[in-house]
Amino acid sequence: MDSCLAGNSPATRRPGPLAAIAAALALVSLAGCSFEPPLHVPAAPKSAAYTAGKTVKKTAAVNGLGDAGRAQIIRYNARLQRTWWKLLGSRQINGLIQRAIMHNPTIAQAVASLQEAHQNTLAIYGEGWPQVSLTGGGNRQRFSGAQFGGATRTFSLYTGQVNVSYTPDLFGLNKLARHQTRALEDAQRYNLQEAYLTLEGNTVSNAILLASYNAQIRTTHRLIAIQRSILRLIDQQYKLGAVTYLDVLNQRTLLQTTMAKLPPLLQSRSAVRHALAALVGTIPSEADLPDIRLRSLRLPHVIPVALPAVLARRRPDIRQAEAELRADNASIGVAVAKMYPTVQLTGDLGFTNGRIPDFFNASSMIWDAAANASVTLFDGGTLLANKRAAQAALQVQLAVYRQTVLAAFEQVADSLRAIQNDATALKFNESAYRSARQAFDLARRQYRAGAIDYLSLLNTQTQYQQAELGVVTADAQRYRDTAALFVALGGGWWPQKFRAAKHHAAAASNPSPAHTVNARGAAKVGHSPKAAAATTARPAMK
């Protein structure tokens, strides 16, 4: 800004008509300058890894679980399909996602917020054009002759005119305001993407959790049936005098302890079903949710992971923070531009006459033209304080942006380590379950044959129960953490101009072709969207 003024300073000292010409040229040159400071967005990390230590490339394989126990391969610098939840291979989850997209109120709220931001952008753009209005009126009036020392008169007057006003954007105030509102619209667009991603992630996570509780409840019922059969056997042996009553009480206690685990599981399952009902936009009594089974899910064996530099340019919350950064940067320019003069041009053209038939006669024409300029000379430091406040707000948003990036990388790193450790935990739990099941089967046969006492049978029962529930929990956690990794990566790849709810809802059932990696690792090649630009060329509802 100072350099713009310095370039015209010699000419402004010239006397006579040249001074006016130089002043006009100075205004024109200033109109081409921008008070918006250059924005330096922090560079994306150059590291190719998310985690400290050895890079996660493959998880452990788990024997005895079939396809669900295969190792997961991490494929870096690969692209995740937009409908990422379909990698789980569950039609029930696909249906829940589609219902949530269509009926969840948070999506409607985010769409409305985007519409509001878009209309605000259009309003700012409209203010840069000349404002034209049409006025007209008529009145009939009587003057008393006593007032003017003559006869009393009654007359009519009809007036119609076009009013034009225009505020030239000499110092870029309107342009900067457009930059600011356009950045805020972009922020709302990325907020809508984030709302979709959060909704999808919560729906998938709760659906897997529901499947986990269903499996735990079925397992607990099966354990109760086994323990009841053992209780009947011990009761018969007690009646025959083969065991003491203490053995009967111990087995009864174990059975009742196992039965006591059912109500919390049922309550937890009910809470998850209620949460899913809210996610799909209905009340629990009318949700009609499917009975999802854990074994019906398909574990994605190839997991595409974007590189850190790509994640920083793709994740919706990071893009939203960047758009808000651009808005705060433009607000500094707005605050500076308000320190400079404003000029307003106005003009009126119309007709006025006492008779309607003579209204458009040349003698009835009226017009006026005016130019007004104003500049603040003293405001007690308000404008300067506003500028400094805008600069401080930019620093705040820079910190928010950095924190958003750090949180995103933390989530990806946590999820990568989680799926690695989940596979190892499931492997140990499955091995422990197999050993516990063999020990329990052997203990039951030996107990019937009288080869071991009841205490040994009781210990193997307890270990078998814990091992079987441990496998169910570890298996479900593996699915949930895989879904959490997809969410941490920003979900699927969004197009440059996000086109609103109904298009995305349609994509839930018919995904658009793109370069994706499916659950079996096969690449699908199609037309990939262009990289999202930092700004949009023109405001448009997408």
Per-residue model confidence as pLDDT tens digits over 417-429: 999 999 999 999 9
Considering 374, 391, 424, which residue would you say is the last residue of a domain? 374
CATH number, domain with residue 353: 2.20.200.10
CA terminus-to-terminus distance, the chain: 35
Q: Give 71-127 as a 3 state SS string.
A: CCEEEECCCCCCCHHHHHCCHHHHHHHHHHHHHCHHHHHHHHHHHHHHHHHHHHHHH
- Number of domains present in the structure of the chain: 3
- Residues 220 and 244 placed together within one structural domain of the fold: yes
Tokens 């995740």, residue located: 80
Q: With contact defined as beta carbons under 8 Å apart, do 328 and 308 qualify?
A: no
Residue 272 lies in a domain: yes
Structure tokens at 497: 């101009």
Cross-sheet strand order for the sheet of 342-353: 131-143, 153-166, 342-353, 365-374
Residue 12 lies in a domain: yes
CA-based nearest residue to 295, from 67, 60, 482, 63: 67
Residue 39 lies in a domain: no
- Residues 91 and 141 placed together within one structural domain of the fold: no
What residue type is 322 in one-letter code?
E
Instruction: For residue 493, name the pLDDT band (cuts at 50, 70, 90).
Output: low
Q: Compute the average pLDDT of residues 269-294.
A: 92
Residue 43 lies in a domain: no
Alpha-carbon Rg for the chain, nearest whole angstrom, is 37
Residue 33's pLDDT is 62
Cα–Cα distance for residue pair 31/536, rounded to 1 Å: 22
The CA-based dihedral angle spanning residues 397, 194, 121, 108, taken in that order and rounded to the nearest 10 degrees: -140
- Residues 293 and 354 placed together within one structural domain of the fold: no
Structure tokens at 302: 């190839």
Instruction: For residue 42, name the pLDDT band (cuts at 50, 70, 90).
Output: confident
| Cβ within 8 Å of residue 42, ≥6 positions away | 398, 401, 402, 405
- Residues 3 and 113 placed together within one structural domain of the fold: no
Helix (H, G, I), strand (E, B) or coil at 3: helix
Cα–Cα distance for residue pair 282/103, rounded to 1 Å: 8
pLDDT in tens, 194-217: 999 999 999 999 999 999 999 999
User: Is the Cα torsion angle 100, 104, 106, 107 positive or negative in sign?
Assistant: positive
Helix or strand (DSSP H, E) at 163: strand 153-166
- Residues 414 and 486 placed together within one structural domain of the fold: yes
Residue 38 lies in a domain: no
CATH number, domain with residue 411: 1.20.1600.10
Long-range contacts of 509-514 (CB under 8 A, 24+ apart): 509/94, 509/98, 511/81, 511/82, 511/83, 511/86, 512/82, 514/79, 514/81, 514/82
Burial, 348: exposed, middle or buried (Cβ in 10 Å; 0-12, 13-18, 19+)? middle
What's CA 235's distance to the chain center, in Å?
60
Residue 483 lies in a domain: yes
Q: Give the number of other CB atoms < 10 A from CB of residue 429.
A: 21
Residue 370 lies in a domain: yes
pLDDT in tens, 322-338: 999 999 999 999 999 99
The CA-based dihedral angle spanning residues 388, 389, 391, 395, taken in that order and rounded to the nearest 10 degrees: 140
Cα–Cα distance for residue pair 392/266, rounded to 1 Å: 52
Cα–Cα distance for residue pair 149/226, rounded to 1 Å: 119
- Residues 308 and 417 placed together within one structural domain of the fold: yes
Instruction: For residue 10, name the pLDDT band (cuts at 50, 70, 90).
Output: very low
Q: Give the number of other CB atoms < 10 A from CB of residue 138.
A: 13
Residue 7 has pLDDT above 60, yes or no: no
Considering 374, 389, 419, which residue would you say is the last residue of a domain? 374
* pLDDT, greater one: 68 or 438: 438
- Residues 328 and 366 placed together within one structural domain of the fold: no
User: Cα–Cα distances in Å, from 295 out to 26, 68, 212, 482?
Assistant: 75, 8, 10, 16
- Residues 135 and 255 placed together within one structural domain of the fold: no
Residue 533 has pLDDT above 70, yes or no: no
User: Cα–Cα distances in Å, from 350 out to 136, 157, 368?
Assistant: 9, 13, 9
User: For the chain, how many residues are written?
Assistant: 542
Considering 357, 374, 391, which residue would you say is the last residue of a domain? 374
Cα–Cα distance for residue pair 100/205, rounded to 1 Å: 13
Q: Give the number of other CB atoms < 10 A from CB of residue 91.
A: 10
- Residues 226 and 369 placed together within one structural domain of the fold: no
Structure tokens at 310: 């790509």
DSSP states of 259-277:
HHTHHHHHHHHHHHHHHHH
Structure tokens at 487: 């969410």
Residue 434 lies in a domain: yes
Q: With contact defined as beta carbons under 8 Å apart, do 152 and 216 qualify?
A: no
Residue 359 has pLDDT above 90, yes or no: no
What is the residue range of 318's domain? Answer: 72-128+173-339+379-512
Structure tokens at 522: 């096969």
> In percent, how much of the chain has pLDDT > 90?
50
- Residues 288 and 152 placed together within one structural domain of the fold: no
Residue 260 has pLDDT above 70, yes or no: yes
- Residues 112 and 148 placed together within one structural domain of the fold: no
* pLDDT, greater one: 25 or 66: 66
Cα–Cα distance for residue pair 175/172, rounded to 1 Å: 5
> Roughly what angle, to the nearest 10 degrees, separates helices 173-239 and 262-279?
160
pLDDT in tens, 62-106: 888 888 888 999 999 888 888 899 999 999 999 999 999 999 999
Q: Count, in order, helices (H) and strands (E) of the chain.
A: 14, 8
Cα–Cα distance for residue pair 485/75, rounded to 1 Å: 13
φ and ψ at residue 37, rounded to 5 degrees: -70, 155
Residue 416's pLDDT is 95
How would you classify the pairing of strands 302-305 and 73-76? parallel
Cα–Cα distance for residue pair 419/485, rounded to 1 Å: 8
- Residues 417 and 362 placed together within one structural domain of the fold: no
Q: With contact defined as beta carbons under 8 Å apart, do 65 and 475 qualify?
A: yes
Structure tokens at 324: 């808000």
DSSP states of 274-288:
HHHHHHTTS-GGG--
Residue 2's pLDDT is 41
